[in-house]
Structure 1
């Protein structure tokens, strides 16, 4: 991995740090700890519902509300810090690309919260009026929108903020499903495709697999000319839908320190599918699975090394958020930066490109060798693998 040493300054500016990072001015207490916006439900997928995967950090010193912004000498990461960590051409690439975000229920403050985040980091406005932002229901209409939901609104916030951080020149399409039922989310996926999205992100997952999931994947997540990303989950070992679908890039989570060290995050989901056959493009590496292995790649997701996000529907402003809910839209943004995420010949899979050029993904230390059930083949080292 390209080594970097950063100090996050004023949330939006990154400068070279001294040889020893400053000691935070306060001693952080994690007595309140991070929490999952969408708590774990059933541990099986038979209810055919999904939960969002965002983790919100409410510990002392990790949320700031509307009255201040995060301090300069601690996490969370700013857009510039993320772009630097993964060697991304975010300021010059991505024009003309549209990233779709699929989530359940309505976030009434999605556009206004996004405006605060982008203004704070000096990113160009992305609004309905300037044609950069669009919010639709699962039928592709601007009204009626589904009922609001506080938990899923937090998911919407981190998704919108992370695609903005990685691809600030991209347009953003938010598709809000009627509910957290997998069929509603699947229909929303098809709506995003019909709206000509180049990349579609899904920061949610079922609580396990079910026997007819291959049919579900074929119906909603098999679009060979559009790139689809999905969170691998935040509960450790295990496989979820839609990350397990064979035409989806499943995204795990890492822990990214300010000195550039990136390691596997223990909460990142992954494992061997029970029902999805091994895709042809996974045959170039050994995964230890006879069937589909999850995840494929990874990006920062550890709540202890999280990202700033802004939400006012249920929260009160600036919070540090994380989970593979952050990792997946980061990777969606990386795909969009390439400008060829929906190349007509096929979906671009990092597996195939990594087999040709071994330096386009960062190796993440893990108990496994070239493949990890937490981080897949690694995190982005530029955009050549995407």
Structure 2
């Protein structure tokens, strides 16, 4: 992907066939100050891999750091370390998760188009961190189309969708290393194609489904809920988006049948936890999404008073590219890289559900954290924009829009 040096953010739009996944490159570059402990380091930069979505075409929620090896102090590694970025041990430490979680469970990852290097890239990631092999040969990994068949697979992903695939598969592996992974590749990025892939994952037995894609919400969403996302006893998880509060609410994150996942900035700290988290907000127009849906009904378990309909998010996890996660993608991104976005947070939360165990039959797993808010790390600092009521976009004690009830503190909040 060509890099652009700009004096101000500017969209570079590329035309794709109508009805396909929006994976338009963004030339806008995010920037963050060098570590205050290492002011001699250059400024960290990154870029969004996908443009903001529409109501008819999905988009990914991924940002990639441009030169991660120059900024390794953010991750507590040395200048010679490969890769930089948070790995499985970091995430397990930050969220108090078992190193052998997910045994006996199947977690589905839903993406559009085919990533031909998905299996080999996943093998590289897992070998790097000493995770057990997860291949088609040993039955741990299964890659299928929306009909549940291993052939024919969809057309190959263009632009930067391969990075999304690798991010999803790597982060599920990091958080639930003993789980089996069902990788369902939708034929395109339309609502019908993505929703059909979700339904297929359920029929194939997955009890946890990671959806790292997003549409702009629309009045049709309640009907899509019934067709694609209402699966009692299945933890369906989706990210709230990467365009901050001002962009609006995204779908399927806003579905009352889905666990909506916001994003945080996860940083090592000298406190008892060893970590600190604030709302992820890189700059205006770039940060975790949140808000009050215009169309979706409020689920009975959500009790905030300022939004009469569905409020996003429910919970949150690591998403800030300035303190991002390590991912291996050879298909389109040249190997090891550091990434952020709610596409990182989403598979983390799907993996935590997998660690927690099979959801109760007929239940709504999105409600589980609301029954156990004390088993989450409450995020109380930061914002993702300007709003009223303040909690729609500003962290506070208890529930708030950007981070919901908080981030995982073990698995207790994700049990039935």
Q: TM-score range, shorter-chain basis?
A: 0.7 to 0.9
Equivalent of 1:346 in 353, 359, 363? 363
Q: Tell me the residue number matched to 1:34.
A: 46
Q: State the secondary structure of the residue aligned to 1:372.
A: coil
Q: 1:362 to 1:140 in 2, by over 3 A?
A: same
RMSD of aligned Cα (Å): 2.2
Deviation at 1:29, TM superposition (A): 3.3
Quick check: 2:110–2:185 contact (8 Å CA) kept in 1?
Answer: yes
Aligned ranges for residues 375-386 of structure 1 at < 5 Å?
375-386=403-414
Kept after mapping to 2: 8 A contact 1:200/1:227: yes
Over 3 Å counting, the alpha-carbon distance change for 1:86 and 1:71 in structure 2 is farther
Write the distance in 2 (CA, Å) between the matches of 1:124 and 1:287. Answer: 46
User: What is the 5 A alignment of 1:158-177?
Assistant: 158-177=167-186
Bigger mean CA deviation after superposition, 240-249 or 54-63: 54-63
Q: Quote how far apart the aligned CAs of 1:312 are.
A: 0.6
Alignment of 1:345-364 (within 5 A): 345-349=362-366, 351-355=367-371, 357-364=372-379
User: Would you say the 8 A contact 1:28–1:61 is kept in 2?
Assistant: no
Q: What's the secondary structure of 1:318's corresponding residue?
A: strand
Alignment of 1:171-320 (within 5 A): 171-206=180-215, 208-237=216-245, 238-259=248-269, 260-266=275-281, 267-283=287-303, 286=304, 288-320=306-338
Q: 2:58 aligns with which of 45, 50, 55?
A: 50
Match of 2:16 in 1: none
Contact 2:211 2:237 in 1 (8 A): yes
- Displacement of 1:340 after TM fit? 1.9
Q: Matches of 1:62 and 1:241 in 2, distance apart? A: 36
Q: How does the TM-score come out when normalised to structure 1?
A: 0.86
User: Taking structure 1 as reference, are residues 180 and 28 closer, same or farther at Cα in structure 2, changes over 3 Å only?
Assistant: same
Question: CA separation of 1:62/1:165 partners in 2, compared to 1, >3 Å: closer, same or farther?
Answer: farther
Give the structure-2-normalised TM-score. 0.80
The 3-state SS of whatever aligns with 1:274 is: strand
Shift of 1:345: 3.6
Corresponding position of 1:8 = none
Farther-moved stretch of structure 1 (71-80 vs 239-248): 71-80
* 1:79 has 2:88 as partner: yes
1:136/1:143 contact within 8 Å kept: yes
Q: Does 1:125 align with 2:133?
A: yes
Question: Alpha-carbon deviation of 1:138?
Answer: 1.0
CA deviation map 1:225-253 (0-9, x unaligned)? 11100011000012111111111000000
Stretches of structure 2 that go unaligned for 5 or more consecutive residues are 1-34, 73-77, 270-274, 282-286, 382-393
- Matches of residues 82-161 of structure 1 in structure 2 within 5 Å? 82-91=91-100, 93-149=101-157, 150-161=159-170
CA distance in 1, matches of 2:405, 2:170: 25
Paired residues, number: 349
**Displacement over 6 Å in runs of 4+:** none
Partner Cα distance (1:73, 1:188) in 2 = 35
